[in-house]
Amino acid sequence: MVIEIYDTTLRDGTQGEEVSFSSSDKLLIAERLDDLGVHYIEGGWPGSNPKDMEFFGLAKKVNFKNAKISAFGSTRRPGISVEKDSNIIALLRAETQVVAIFGKSWDLHVTDALRTTLDENLNMIYDSVKLIKKHDRKVIYDAEHFFDGYKRNPEYALKTIKVAEEAGADVIVLCDTNGGSLPFEVEEIVRKVREVVSVPLGIHCHNDTECAVANSIAAVRAGVVHVQGTINGLGERCGNANLCSIIPNLELKMGYTCVGRENLKKLTSISRFVYELANLKPWIHQPYVGRAAFAHKGGVHVSAVMRNPSTYEHIEPELVGNVRRVLISDLSGKSNIIYKAQEFGVDLSTNDPLVKELLDALKNLEYQGYQFEGAEASFEILVKKALRKFKPYFDLRGFRVIVEKRGRDDEPLSEATVKVETPFGSLHVAAEGNGPVNALDKALRKALEEFYPNLAEMHLVDYKVRILDEYSGTAAKVRVLIESTDGKRRWGTVGVHENIIEASWRALVDSIEYKLMKDEKDGRLIVGENNNK
């Protein structure tokens, strides 16, 4: 059985705090959603802002393979002819195949928010659905606040959706707009609605009780065939129902078809794509698609997973486009070390004395304040050094960092000088930066790019400092975590020291050496002698 997926990321999702998409962003997301295989993509509210109208114009030029674009808006306003209502006119001008309109189901909203009569609200719903159907559009009627309305006045709530059915609505969507309902309530109410409504039913949930996904699944159990939500659960307040959880739950756990098994493998990719365009940090613990969703840290867990992944994984991560990860920490056992070494192309056995040596070194470093969960590049270098398989690419002959402030209101000036030696020669350079670490990073790479041009491809994307002993004040030991990228891969490195510059230096050096090591392994490393020694 097919469950229709109606994505509202481009409209409902943008109502979330800190979320904003340009028209071109929205088009890129729409194309990815279409490729994922969703059935409907809600593009926005025509007439509410120029950006949404621009999107509808751009979308007309795209040949979507799977999805239909939907315009969203409200029923006509009280006391206004439907033919003259500006919102209805804007919906028709968007020229989409599908129109979603919402109306009030809760008598409290009719009297207190709309300030009109219950009968006029029924007329507004009927007139709006009827007119849009006359223009040969598929109409999805969103019964706003339906569950709250039903709990307060079930007779009137049912009247609102029955009048939408009479006017010709193709799908009636029951909305938990305040997100306050619980799964057992949703399932019970949907079953009662199913008894009196003959058109297909849908569900639209918000996440204010952390139940949006569960409520959506409960509604499917009760008979809905159309599910609305957003990628990553983006949305107003606590967000909307998260399609990245709903889709695999329906497909893998309940046997329904939503986007199909092959398209399901694209789920992790689109999740991260939407986070990227929204300029939000991905939630690493997000079910199914999060970076930590299939990450194993405890030694007992890793040992079992190596024998049979199903011991600690409810599905194969590849089914949703994710991957299994084994973390390295002071909770690690020998199995963690062996698993990570295999990832680096090194085969170790449980009885190999090097495994015990690495495990002891790891736990000692973590005791000092090192953390390798987000710095797997530093750990790979540590393993390669222990195996005597690491080749140093440069050696430091010294560095100096100067921070100068010349007046109370002047900006501080940061300058770093670095002297490095490589197999091809040595170089002594200086660079300025917007801070001491930035200056040091610039100086180091300025020197090394003379010998390793590949380094021009990489840059830092994140820099974190953690105080490890707050009771020591300014003398406290600090941990620096750096994330770098060269456009093809991302990697993390770590450095620990009482001096923040030294801690940063250690993380910077690991980052650069990791880039050079990987490029050499891939046969991409370019080397050259400096002519200005």
Quote the pLDDT of residue 531. Answer: 43
- Are 328 and 219 in the same domain? no
Q: What is the pLDDT of residues 15-57, one digit of tens each?
A: 999 899 989 899 999 999 999 999 999 999 997 778 888 999 9
Examine the domain organization and report whether 274 and 299 are in the same domain: no
Distance CA 125, CA 146 (A): 14
Domain stop point among 249, 278, 307: 278
Q: Rounded to whole angstroms, what are the CA distances from 32 to 46, 144, 334, 420?
A: 22, 28, 41, 46
Distance CA 345, CA 185 (A): 53
- Strands of 478-485's sheet in order across: 459-467, 478-485, 490-497
User: Is 213's pLDDT higher than 80?
Assistant: yes
> Domain check: are 362 and 420 in the same one?
no
pLDDT band at 472 (very low <50, low <70, confident <90, very high): low
**pLDDT value of position 475:** 65
- CATH number for position 302: 4.10.430.20
Look up residue 500 and give its amino acid. I
376-386 vs 334-343: helix axis angle to the nearest 10?
A: 90
CATH number, domain with residue 463? 3.30.160.270
In a domain, 530, yes or no: no
Q: Is residue 332's pLDDT more than 60?
A: no
Would you state the pLDDT for residue 474?
61
- Let me know whether 135 and 233 are in one domain: yes
Please, which pLDDT band fits residue 350 given cuts at 50, 70 and 90? Answer: low
The per-residue pLDDT of the chain, averaged, comes to 89
pLDDT tens-digit series, residues 277-305: 888 888 989 999 998 899 887 767 767 87
305 and 249 in a common domain: no
Averaged over 131-144, what is the pLDDT?
Answer: 97
Give the domain-ending residue among 212, 246, 278.
Answer: 278
Indicate if 124 and 195 belong to the same structural domain. yes
Q: Do 56 and 168 reside in the same domain of the chain?
A: yes
Report the predicted TM-score, pTM, of the whole model to 2 decimal places: 0.71
Nearest to 203 by CA among 186, 189, 216, 188: 216
The single-letter code of the amino acid at 87 is N
Portion of the chain with pLDDT greater than 90, in percent: 64
CB 374 within 8 A of CB 396: no
pLDDT score for 532: 45
Mean pLDDT of 403-430: 90
The HSE-up count of residue 279 (CA atoms within 13 Å, CB side) is 7
Domain annotation covers residue 383: no
Given a cut of 70, whether residue 344 has pLDDT beyond it is no
Distance CA 230, CA 243 (A): 6
pLDDT band per the 50, 70, 90 thresholds, residue 330:
very low
- Residue 379 inside a domain? The answer is no
Concatenating the DSSP letter of every residue in 276-323 gives HHHT----TT-TTTSTTTTEE-SHHHHHHHHH-GGGT-SS-GGGGT--
Give the pLDDT score at 235: 97
Q: What is the pLDDT of residues 453-463, one digit of tens each?
A: 999 999 888 88
State whether 359 and 434 are in the same domain: no
421 and 273 fall within a common domain: no
CA angle 283, 284, 287 (to 5 degrees): 85
**Same-domain check for residues 250 and 301:** no
DSSP codes of every residue in 50-63: HHHHHHHHHHTTS-
Q: Considering the domain boundaries, does residue 388 fall inside one?
A: no
CATH classification at residue 80? 3.20.20.70
The SS3 assignment for 427 reads strand
* Residue 17 lies in domain: 4-278
Tell the residue number behind the tokens 């109410």, with chain if given. Answer: 189
Question: From CA 142, how far away is CA 11, in angstroms rounded?
Answer: 14
Is there a single domain that holds both residue 255 and residue 143?
yes
Domain membership flag for residue 338: yes
Map residue 394 onto helix, strand or coil. coil
Alpha carbons within 13 A on the beta-carbon side of 482: 27
Residue spans of alpha helices (H) in 180-266: 183-194, 212-222, 243-248, 261-264
228 assigned to some structural domain? yes
- Backbone torsion region of residue 75, taken as left when φ is above 0, otherwise alpha when ψ lies between -120 and 50, otherwise beta: beta
Q: Is the pLDDT of residue 533 over 50?
A: no
Q: Are residues 273 and 303 in the same domain?
A: no
User: Is residue 284 included in any domain, yes or no?
Assistant: no
Q: Which tens digit of pLDDT belongs to each residue from 88-118? A: 999 999 999 999 999 999 999 999 999 999 9
Residue finishing a domain among 331, 350, 368 = 368
In a domain, 66, yes or no: yes
- As for how many domains the chain has, the answer is 3
Q: What angle do CA 342, 344, 347 make, to 5 degrees?
A: 35
pLDDT at res. 479? 87
What does the pLDDT look like over 58-83, one tens digit per residue? Answer: 999 999 999 999 999 999 999 999 99
